[in-house]
A = this chain, B = another copy of it.
Amino acid sequence: MEQEVEDAARSTPRRLYVDLRDRILDGSLAGGQPLRQEELAARYGVSRSPVREALRQLEADGLVTYQANRGAVVSSVSLADALEMLEIRIALECRALRLAIPLMTDQDLAGIAAVLDAYGAAHDVTDWGRLNRDFHLALYAPADRPRLLALIQDNFDNAHRFARVQVSNATGRDRPHREHQDLFRACREGDIDAAVQMLEAHIAYSQKALAATVRRGPAERRGVAGAGAGGHGN
């Protein structure tokens, strides 16, 4: 999970795992879609054995659901799941930010500011998504807690499987940009409590926006993460 570039070249199951995971997270593979072993094996030019190992890893990540004798299906993300993952974002990221702020160097702050500027200059909605991710991860990186950061990253990507497009459309770019700038200022001034407060409100707002968006027009969401009508995913 940490060193994808090297790992991708390492073993076949790893390569398949990384590729499939990315395709699930970016929505290329929608929730509910069955993953046929033979088909994947053919696509990657390997046999079914490494495919099965990759699928098991995806299952452990909760990105794929196994049904007995019926193979693997891309797991669906319900609205409740997405809201809960944002809840988890609050838990993990607020703590990480609290740990990070006292350790931020000038270099760290400059890096964060650069991401912020790029965000302000970006026009494409996919750039917003990427830069939003970069901004948040850059905030927490100074904490130097590899496990916590890995958890944050996994949960962030998973949360945004469902929420990316909707939230971006619902809230636009300006409000998060303002909030990011405020957050950055609080970090720079070392005001931990204020920064954590802002971050919580920032994520909580996207929870509300997501709930509101889905309630208004839930049709779209099925396309993104498959949104299981009944059971909530994995």
Contact = CB atoms under 8 A, between A and B. Distances in A.
Given A81-B147, A88-B92, A91-B96, 18 more contacts: A10-B68, A11-B66, A13-B56, A49-B52, A53-B53, A56-B60, A57-B57, A58-B60, A84-B145, A84-B147, A84-B148, A87-B95, A87-B148, A88-B148, A88-B151, A90-B95, A91-B95, A91-B148
A83 to B, nearest CB: 9
A99 interface: yes
Interface in A47-65: 49, 52-54, 56-61
Interface residues of A, number: 33
Question: Which of A61, A95, A151 gathers the greatest number of chain B CB atoms within 10 Å?
Answer: A95
Contacts of A148: 84, 87-88, 91
A85 interface: yes
